[in-house]
Amino acid sequence: METIKAYVEFIHFAVEYNLTRAGVDVRDERGAISTEMAVVIAAMVAIAVAAGAIFITKAQSNANNIPDTVPAPG
């Protein structure tokens, strides 16, 4: 679980760093997440969900194509 937490923190830092370099204000004066950051996060979540759906569909398709019987050697 610690590995996942560290990975998520790294991704958060990387996204925030790159957005700051691009000139997008990640946080406003109160420390709250800005609208631009919320939109970017929503887009990233949508891409991740789409990629996950494609991955699951492809894995199920490949699993369904595994033959049930194995031919005898010879």
Tell me if 7 is assigned to some domain.
no
The pLDDT score that the predictor gives to residue 53 is: 95
**Domain carrying residue 31:** 26-56
Tell me if 10 is assigned to some domain.
no
Total domain count for the chain?
A: 1
From 41, 43, 6, select the one nearest 27 (Cα to Cα).
Answer: 41
Q: What are the backbone dihedrals phi and psi of residue 47, each rounded to the nearest 5 degrees, phi first?
A: -65, -40
Q: Report which secondary-structure segment, H or E, holds 45.
A: helix 35-64
The pLDDT score that the predictor gives to residue 58 is: 95
Tens of pLDDT along the chain (74 residues) come to 678 788 788 888 888 888 788 777 666 666 666 777 778 888 999 999 999 999 999 999 998 888 888 778 86
